[in-house]
Structure 1
Amino acid sequence: MSFRSKGALSVALMSALLPSLCIGENVPLTKTVVDARPIPMDRGAAETWKMLKKLHTRASILMIVAHPDDEDGATLAYESRGLGVRTNLMTLNRGEGGANVMSSDLWDALGLVRTEELLQADRYYGLDGQYFSTVADYGFSKSLKEALGQWGHDRVLRDAVRVVRTVRPLIVCSVFVGGPTDGHGNHATAGLMAQEVFKAAGDPKMFPEQIKEGLLPWTPVKTYARTPFFRTSEKGAYDYANHRWTPLGVTNHVTGKWEPGQVSTTVTIPSGTFDTPLGLTYPQISREGLGFQKSQNGGADIPFPGPQVSNYHRFGSHIAAKDKENSFFDGIDISLTGIADLAGNEPPTFLKTGLKQINDAVESAIAGFAAQDPSAIAGTLANGLKATNSLVAEVEKSTLAQEEKYNILHELTTKQQQFNTALLASLSLSVEADVVPPPSSDGIPAEFRGTQRTFQMATPGKNFNVRVHLFDGGKLPVEVQSVELNATSGKSWNASSGSAAPRTIEPGNVSDVRFTAKVPDDEPYTRPYFTRPGMEQSYYDIADNSSWGMALSPYPLHATVRFSFDGLTLESSRVVQVISKVDGPGTLRYPMPVGPPVSVAISPSAGVIPLDEKSFSVSVRLHNNVEGHADETVHLVLPDGWTSTPQSMPVNFTQMGEEQAVTFTIRPGNVSQKPYEITAVADYAGKSYKEGYVTVGYTGLRPYFLYSPAAYKATGTDVKMAPSQNIGYIEGSGDDVPASLKALGVNVSFLSAQDLASADLSKYNSILVGVRAYAVRPDLVANNNRLLNYVKNGGVVMVQYNTPEFDHNYGPYPYVMTNDPEEVTDEKSVVTILDPNNPLFTWPNKITSKDFDGWIEERGSKFLSSWDSKYEPLLETHDEGQSPQKGGLVYARYGKGAYIYNAYAFYRQLPLGVPGAYRIFANMLSLPKNPQFLSGK
């Protein structure tokens, strides 16, 4: 046993550094596994069979899409699991601008949620790698021109070229074609990039800085896109930019020519194939993975087995290719021995001989494979790995040209990794690494204790224990060379073992190796390596170039076990996990993160300050990660001339994970119409902490951590609010509107299902319906008539942005939303006030067009398309080329009260502190006390 601190490199990154890496006889390429346990189809005999298929081919593919959940998962699963293709996915952005049905996480927090969801889905697709570009989802875009204007053509192409040069695929494809049929601009950009990178990645003149870094050019053989299926009909393709149907056809970005008519199918992928060993079709497997993307779809919908195909059109090829193909790889030698083609027309004899020897071993292993005893082929696989190691050494010392050597070593090191994985699976070797409590002296056997909870966040200087659990589930004994803890930061964690590793692990036996370790005082926190200063920047700045393209920064600590089998060293590496227990899901294991001893946050983080405000309160929330007793002090850094009561506040924690909120009353003096910032500072153990994190996600999703300064940014605003308002709130899928309303002095009462069914609603001046509430609150649907009666008797109901589940005439009069409702994505679109004298625009704030300045991401979504004449449309706006949209804010008197449907994106504007949005919302909340409204208008 030993402890070694080293940087963790992904397989793709290590490949990118070749040929400078020397892979020797006993140094197999290894990959750290993040998940606590593989999914069932990636264990034992099933994993062995999958790896045999991968070993038998050099086929490789890269799919490029726009957001998480865009991917053609059935095709990815068919290619990877069915055919053994090395399969990678590039997702341009992380879906930051989308909606969220699972939690109130939006923007960059939602981006982290969707990243984690996609990583879980990727396991079912059987991906070898997941990559992201540096661009962020700025919201729905209706045209390719708009998307490229936001992101910059060269930025996206540069990122795509880097990925292609890293993974070096034979095939590049996309779900999108780069035109109107793609649905919107982000999709079209992905389709465009799949075609442009086909030409650009192999051109040494394109992005030469990458070549200086060690990434040599690479030219894929062919490029494809899925035959258009989004918003096409006999009328043609729907052009979102101009809101019209256009003739079917597509621009071939490889040739630059317009190809009119229905885009033809070059190859039909039988993605509905049934996988006999797994007992599922590939659509079933992929849809199980897609079901993890719950923030968008709410959960899995597994189809019944049956025929299914995916049709793709070939846009470009560097080889002669038929109009109709049987697979992506027609005309390409994708056999293992086909690696020799990378050495030119006359490959050296040693290369062809070595590849044949490796291939013979793989074919012998395939012939000898038996699911009931995969270890029977372990010796054959070992021979194949030995032959691969020998050939790597010969290639390294050969006189092959630099680029030929680079490309061949990329393929051979991939085979080394695949052999390593196949051998571990065939031998049924299992490794897990958990944080555990210190050994107990009470004499109770560990098996009777059960799994024990651990801390959830390691802090600098913390001492803790790790147990590395080894299990031989096969039929052969295996030697254990070493068990180590490795740090990705390169810093020393002072790890030492408290128990000896076994020299041999016998079939059916387990062995636990225990370590003590200490987090370095200067260990970096577990946080995204990509950041941006605000939502207005549509791309990320990269803090750590070594993590470029990865889904997330590597976790800080992993255990590596080296086994010895038949003279070879095999490696299995697992991230160290912390343990929690939650009623329902049960025991949960997540990678151990490192974070600060105290997390500091002000909620909300943005808002407004009324010009006449004499005092207001802010709440500072502290989360303690220190074990045992911790004494801290909190104070505020205020603008000049401002004071707070108290000036500082001591906070005493007694246990880890505890949270406390400290309220400060602030007296701002004179408030002007300008930005202000308040910062919270916590002092602990001689250090000051001015930032905090939120744990994004929901129960069952691997958590991640979004850091932000502990600051409240607010703008002095001429905004007034009717006093003494009692507001009820029907929460939907989650939003931050209630917290934002505190800036107006409003504290809402959340209405439960029981409240909706039987409580006295008349005590509320207004009732707000949260975003997507009709999609996630069946109790709201069931009791909707009670809301209408509340309005009829004098109340005011305002329904915020809701999805087509609302399209069932839940209002007092009929309306139509449609299943594909309009949205206005240009946050700078001109807004016309149709009735300036309506009570919503007159009191207590006089609303003008200036109140729509400074909006962020969009105007609104899910506008009504038609409505009864008793509704009055109050605003009109539209994107360029779009027909006027008046269904974003409609108002109706009903009985003594009023009913409002509001599709404008206040749920995005209020948490970001947009002044005009607060003024308009204040008027809507003040409506029950508006003199004009009370007079019956």
Structure 2
Amino acid sequence: MRYILSILITISFVSFSNAQVKEPVPASKILHQMQKLKNTTRVLYLAAHPDDENTRFIAYVENGKKFDAAYLSLTRGDGGQNVIGPELREGLGLIRTQELLAAREIDGGKQFFTRANDFGYSKNPDETFNKWGKDEVLSDVVWTIRNFQPDIIVTRFNKTPGITHGHHTASAILAHEAFNMSGDKNAFPEQLELTNTWQPKKIYWNTSSWFFRRNEDFDKSQYITENAGGFSPLLGISYTEMAALSRSRHKSQAFGTAGSRGDEIEYFEYWEGPENEKDLFAGVDHSWNNFKNGKAIQKAIEQLIRNFKLSNPEASIDQLFVVKNLIEKLDDSAIKKDKLKAIEQLILKCSGFYHLLYHDNPYASPGDEISIDLELVNRSNADIQLISTKILPTNEELSVSGDLDNNQVKLESFSVNIPNDFPYSNPYWLNDPSANGLYKVDNQKLIGKAENQAAIKAEVTLNINGNNLSFQTPLKYKSSDRINGEIIQPFYIIPPLSIEFAEEVSIFTTKNQEKEISIKIKALKDNVSGVLELKLPSAWTAETPQNDLTFENLVRNSTKDFKIKIKSGDKEGKFDLNAFVKIDGKSIDKSVQEIQYDHIPNQIIIRNAQQQLVLADVKIKGEKIGYIEGAGDAVDEALLAMGYQVDFIDIENISVDELKKYDAIIAGIRAYNVNASLQIHYGKMNEYMNSGGVYMVQYNTTYSLPDTDFWPYPLNLSRDRITVEEASLEFINPDHLSLNYPNEITSKDFEGWVQERGLYFPDNWNSNYVPILAGNDPGESTKRGALLIADYGKGKFVYTGLSFFRELPAGVPGAYRLLANLLANKSTP
């Protein structure tokens, strides 16, 4: 796989990534956050995917109304496409999770998820619930409501099937059912051992003209409205400008948005609750009046705000402790927990308090002893003493204490032993194999959380002006770069090495075939030695002697490459090849994937070191394939595994004569959407086909596609798709060469497909195209545009929306066989 390894520091009005230095907090923002303490109203926004949320509304609720807002995304977006890199599936889900967290850093909301997996496009909620398991995801929504305790729930979508994505409709159905169940002690009673029932007051649908076929069908007069277009003098930004910055964090979906100013009316349809007034927040007491000692709390907060001095924030510390002490006397609730956390942060901000726990490497392994540093700086005249510091989760007490005088750096270094059984820092929802529609998470307390807690933290206890305050600071990786300056990233616990197969899948085309596979050992610490061992499927053998698989004293980030000869068995199918290394008696069988982009913190995924072996009768014709990059896929790797030579083509600078050396050329997914050079120089491909070449174009979308006829004969792209991967496909032209040469394609070749059959099929085309396949999702009309082939001069043109980019990495044998046929030239054998 190819991964982007760049780090770029970007400063905006607010910090949005842990890759940056700590965000400066001006006094005006401290005052803004103090004003939020007055309000107890909470709003939960609910939809299906990352980027479904209305960032205008969340920014307005958090910063205009100064209420607490949260977004519950049912999925992590792992079934979508990625326009910034090659990561799909779990990797893309991790990127989109972090993009949501970066968005919430800007607009101020909280972020939650369910266990639901984004299994791809779904046309109706019934299909969605069949994949997810309705009760399981409904349980997660109820759990989130009970723990966040919102007064109002707002959905992005309505409950009418057929208007939009099935996941979208399902999210609205689940929201409404959970609204009525979260306060019922008989609904998911097992949760009540860990939380309490909670009944929100009202639920609304946040609608817009987008949901109506014609703009004139959108009758604004029947809806409740809120103007989300205000401006915050304290923050120096409008809520719509803030929303654009927030939405622009969704870079993997190409959702960059220009800021806007002025009024922005949001519309809401009332669904249920005790009040149906012409005010979204009617019937909700925003103050502390309904809490024990509520009047005293309200009065103390008002005094805090009234006496705050922009030029001297530290003068408010004592009053913050007054408010804190009053709130601590309340019964446990989400409001109590979150307000105490906000006050803790305000006390530290008012004192200009800086804290950073850091290590000089980004990761360590179980059993390591590491040296870490703790930097503390009191940047005020507040009387602050360091009372104690404890490492979590080992509870190791550190012998550091003393006065923290104004602007005097206290820097302490100490060693920490990481226990041998310390867990790896893998995203918690990826620890166990998951079903198609639902991630497996056994720990109920983890459900809903956006990400793991930091692997290692320090609990610091201070005495500030005579009052104790404890807070946690996570262990980070700190480095300095001559271009970007100080860089702060997450710190991870990972294996001492990573075992990396060169390809996800190895294709064997005959029984007892011998083939060389490549495995790389990457050391993730110094002095790594061992022997690589393989666990092969039955009847498969490794021909490479074991003594050729040793490695010694690898230093951090160095690698050792192995070429291993594997002989296939005699039974066709898909099999697993597992690799492991024994170090100090412990078996290491993991691969570590690093994901690095400039707009999110660095991420890792730890998987089993495994390659899929596929034995299938795949014949190929031709040798050299040219590949024109699109939005990112792994089809090129599959071609290499099939035995082709693959070169990436710079379409702008390559000549037609140079193109002619390739037996076939493939355009990656959405190539015409994202590859500006191909949009200009597409005519070269017509000349290439005319001289006898085979050109295959994978799916493009109508969105952002220039209004140009790129194809050799006219065809019209649509949003037609077949989302049920088991849907039967009819062979329209069973005698067509593409279904018979060099492989005879049968219905068996469409077994075992994942996520979908295909997407964005053409729905109208010139008579020169021959449609090959027809199919449909249940209850829908037949789609005939999944695979179109046309002769062009001496060559041929193939346009297909079949999801090869998903099927090939999944090791689907039939996808390899069909692809080989499409790349064969049009001459008969």
Q: 1:858, 1:155 → 2: CA distance? A: 23
The answer to whether structure 1 residue 373 and structure 2 residue 312 are counterparts is yes
- Opposite residue 164 of structure 1, the aligned amino acid is I
Q: Corresponding residue for 2:232?
A: 275
Task: Give the deviation of 1:134 after TM superposition.
Answer: 1.4
Q: Corresponding residue for 1:76?
A: 58
Q: 1:572, 1:754 → 2: CA distance? A: 56
Q: Corresponding residue for 1:216?
A: 196
- Opposite residue 714 of structure 2, the aligned amino acid is P
Q: 1:270, 1:609 → 2: CA distance? A: 62
Task: Give the deviation of 1:186 after TM superposition.
Answer: 0.7
Q: Corresponding residue for 2:287?
A: 335
Q: Corresponding residue for 2:528?
A: 630
The answer to whether structure 1 residue 426 and structure 2 residue 365 are counterparts is no
The answer to whether structure 1 residue 462 and structure 2 residue 365 are counterparts is no
Stretch moving more, 780-789 or 652-661: 652-661
Preserved contact between residue 615 and residue 666 of structure 1 (Cα < 8 Å): yes
- Report SS of the residue matched to 2:365: coil
Q: Corresponding residue for 2:793?
A: 895
The answer to whether structure 1 residue 479 and structure 2 residue 384 are counterparts is yes
C-alpha distance after superposition, 1:506-526 (max 9, x if no partner): 1x4433232222222111000
- Opposite residue 802 of structure 1, the aligned amino acid is N
Residues 477 and 532 of structure 1: CA distance in aligned 2, closer, same or farther (over 3 Å): closer
Structure 1 unaligned segments of length 5 or more: list them: 1-32, 237-247, 249-260, 341-350, 393-404, 437-454, 933-937
Q: Corresponding residue for 1:794?
A: 692
C-alpha distance after superposition, 1:455-489 (max 9, x if no partner): 22211222222222223344x234133352532xx
Q: Corresponding residue for 2:207?
A: 227
Q: 1:771, 1:551 → 2: CA distance? A: 30
Task: Give the deviation of 1:38 after TM superposition.
Answer: 8.0
Preserved contact between residue 264 and residue 313 of structure 1 (Cα < 8 Å): no
- Opposite residue 669 of structure 2, the aligned amino acid is V
Q: 1:716, 1:125 → 2: CA distance? A: 51
The answer to whether structure 1 residue 909 and structure 2 residue 807 are counterparts is yes
Choose the corresponding residue for 1:359, options 298, 308, 319. Answer: 298
Q: 1:759, 1:374 → 2: CA distance? A: 71
- Opposite residue 567 of structure 1, the aligned amino acid is G
Q: 1:866, 1:115 → 2: CA distance? A: 37
Preserved contact between residue 42 and residue 150 of structure 2 (Cα < 8 Å): yes
- Opposite residue 431 of structure 1, the aligned amino acid is H
The answer to whether structure 1 residue 643 and structure 2 residue 599 are counterparts is no
- Opposite residue 266 of structure 2, the aligned amino acid is S
The answer to whether structure 1 residue 664 and structure 2 residue 564 are counterparts is yes
Task: Give the deviation of 1:140 after TM superposition.
Answer: 0.7
Preserved contact between residue 64 and residue 173 of structure 1 (Cα < 8 Å): yes
The answer to whether structure 1 residue 152 and structure 2 residue 108 are counterparts is no
Q: Corresponding residue for 2:261?
A: 305
Q: Corresponding residue for 1:565?
A: 464
Choose the corresponding residue for 2:778, options 872, 880, 886. Answer: 880
Residues 725 and 603 of structure 1: CA distance in aligned 2, closer, same or farther (over 3 Å): same
Q: 1:753, 1:461 → 2: CA distance? A: 51
Q: 2:436, 2:715 → 1: CA distance? A: 37
Task: Give the deviation of 1:314 after TM superposition.
Answer: 1.5
Residues 264 and 270 of structure 1: CA distance in aligned 2, closer, same or farther (over 3 Å): same
Preserved contact between residue 600 and residue 681 of structure 1 (Cα < 8 Å): yes
Structure 2 unaligned segments of length 5 or more: list them: 1-15
Task: Give the deviation of 1:640 after TM superposition.
Answer: 3.7
Q: 1:312, 1:203 → 2: CA distance? A: 26
The answer to whether structure 1 residue 321 and structure 2 residue 219 are counterparts is no
Q: 2:469, 2:224 → 1: CA distance? A: 39
- Opposite residue 812 of structure 2, the aligned amino acid is V
TM-score (norm 2): 0.92
Q: 1:825, 1:802 → 2: CA distance? A: 16
The answer to whether structure 1 residue 205 and structure 2 residue 110 are counterparts is no
Q: Corresponding residue for 1:527?
A: 426
- Opposite residue 200 of structure 1, the aligned amino acid is M
- Report SS of the residue matched to 2:425: coil
The answer to whether structure 1 residue 178 and structure 2 residue 178 are counterparts is no
- Report SS of the residue matched to 2:363: coil
Q: 1:364, 1:893 → 2: CA distance? A: 80
- Opposite residue 267 of structure 2, the aligned amino acid is N
- Report SS of the residue matched to 2:50: coil
Q: 1:607, 1:263 → 2: CA distance? A: 57
Q: 1:232, 1:659 → 2: CA distance? A: 57
Preserved contact between residue 720 and residue 760 of structure 2 (Cα < 8 Å): yes
Residues 226 and 584 of structure 1: CA distance in aligned 2, closer, same or farther (over 3 Å): farther
C-alpha distance after superposition, 1:406-464 (max 9, x if no partner): 5xx5533443223222222222222222213xxxxxxxxxxxxxxxxxx2221122222
- Report SS of the residue matched to 2:229: coil
- Opposite residue 562 of structure 2, the aligned amino acid is V
Preserved contact between residue 123 and residue 162 of structure 2 (Cα < 8 Å): no
Q: 2:721, 2:421 → 1: CA distance? A: 48
- Opposite residue 688 of structure 1, the aligned amino acid is S
Residues 677 and 420 of structure 1: CA distance in aligned 2, closer, same or farther (over 3 Å): closer
- Opposite residue 463 of structure 2, the aligned amino acid is S
- Opposite residue 429 of structure 1, the aligned amino acid is F
Q: 1:671, 1:458 → 2: CA distance? A: 43
TM-score (norm 1): 0.82
- Report SS of the residue matched to 1:931: coil
Aligned length: 810
Q: Corresponding residue for 1:6?
A: none
Choose the corresponding residue for 2:753, options 845, 848, 855. Answer: 855
Residues 663 and 149 of structure 1: CA distance in aligned 2, closer, same or farther (over 3 Å): same
Preserved contact between residue 227 and residue 264 of structure 1 (Cα < 8 Å): no
- Opposite residue 207 of structure 1, the aligned amino acid is F
C-alpha distance after superposition, 1:1-51 (max 9, x if no partner): xxxxxxxxxxxxxxxxxxxxxxxxxxxxxxxx99466875x8232442232
Q: 1:108, 1:827 → 2: CA distance? A: 19
Q: Corresponding residue for 1:720?
A: 619
Q: 1:534, 1:575 → 2: CA distance? A: 28
Equivalence map 1:794-873=2 (5 Å): 794-804=692-702, 805-806=704-705, 808-818=708-718, 821-873=719-771
The answer to whether structure 1 residue 67 and structure 2 residue 22 are counterparts is no
Stretch moving more, 866-875 or 602-611: 602-611
